[in-house]
């Protein structure tokens, strides 16, 4: 289960969001990872943060994008973790491990989770897990999608009546091209 160490980077990003400046822009921007592995929309253009981690026998790379909308009180995080070699863990267990690691790192608890088939395109689906986690920062929705040795994670929240549409827009914007 060394792979779940990658979610530590994901949790670290969430803590770092507390330090971001307030944003007021309301126009959404489509963002594509530099390697073309995925794209999504956020309320503003953000910089990709690339990090390679892990011991020599288990390397992985993360691409992270995040923003916090101070005035609206919500945040968006998109992460792609690419593991060297094939994942030996069944997809459902890998997705579950990522969700549990996120909750653990933030001293939170998983409120609900549902295994889903995430639709990439016409007739093409990927294993995914839709999760709601309660933390001291509020409740966050996460979506974990697995494709081969890549795990994609979107996190948004905390949900409020005034940002529900933005959160739904963020999750609906995820695109993972077929390779």
Residue range 65-84, pLDDT digits in tens? 988 876 667 889 999 999 88
Q: Please check whether residue 177 lies inside any domain of the structure.
A: no
| pLDDT reported for residue 52 | 92
Q: In this structure, are residues 42 and 76 in contact, taking their beta carbons and an 8 Å threshold?
A: yes
Q: Is the pLDDT of residue 24 over 70?
A: no
Q: Which domain holds residue 64?
A: 2-172
pTM: 0.81
Dump pLDDT digits (tens) for 93-136. 888 988 998 899 889 999 999 999 999 877 899 999 999 999 98
The percentage of the chain sitting over the pLDDT mark of 90, rounded to a whole number, equals: 46
Burial 158-173 (b: 16+ CB within 10 A, else e): bbeeebeebbebbbeb
Q: What burial class does residue 123 get, using C-beta atoms within 10 Å of its C-beta: 0-12 exposed, 13-18 middle, 19+ buried?
A: exposed
Is residue 122 included in any domain, yes or no? yes
Q: What is the pLDDT of residue 118?
A: 95
Task: Determine the Cα–Cα distance for residues 65 and 38; give it in Å rounded to an integer.
Answer: 12
Domain of 104: which CATH number?
A: 3.40.1000
Question: Please, which pLDDT band fits residue 161 given cuts at 50, 70 and 90?
Answer: confident
Q: Of 130 and 87, which is predicted with more confidence?
A: 130
Q: Which residue has the higher pLDDT, 99 or 58?
A: 99
Residue 78 covered by a domain: yes
C-alpha–C-alpha distance, residues 19 and 175, integer Å = 28
In a domain, 84, yes or no: yes
State the Cα–Cα distance between residues 97 and 105, nearest whole angstrom: 12
Task: Please indicate, yes or no, if residue 179 is contained in any of the structural domains.
Answer: no
The count of structural domains within the chain is 1
Angle at 16 between CA 13 and CA 20, to 5 degrees: 120
């Amino acid at each position: 289960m060394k792979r779940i160490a990658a979610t530590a980077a994901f949790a670290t990003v969430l803590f770092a969001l507390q330090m971001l400046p307030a944003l007021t822009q309301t126009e959404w921007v489509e963002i594509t990872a530099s390697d073309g592995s995925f794209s999504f929309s956020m309320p503003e253009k953000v910089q990709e943060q690339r990090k390679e981690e892990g011991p020599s026998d288990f390397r992985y790379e993360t691409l992270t994008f995040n923003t916090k909308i101070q005035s609206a009180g919500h945040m968006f995080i998109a992460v792609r973790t690419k593991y060297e070699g094939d994942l030996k863990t069944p997809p459902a267990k890998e997705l579950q491990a990522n969700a549990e690691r996120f909750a653990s790192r933030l001293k939170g608890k998983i409120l609900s989770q549902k295994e889903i088939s995430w639709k990439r395109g016409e007739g093409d689906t990927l294993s995914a897990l839709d999760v709601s986690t309660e933390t001291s920062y509020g409740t966050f929705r996460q979506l974990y999608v697995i494709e081969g040795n890549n795990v994609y994670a979107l996190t948004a929240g905390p949900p409020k009546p005034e940002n529900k549409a933005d959160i739904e827009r963020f999750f609906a914007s995820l695109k993972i091209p077929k390779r």
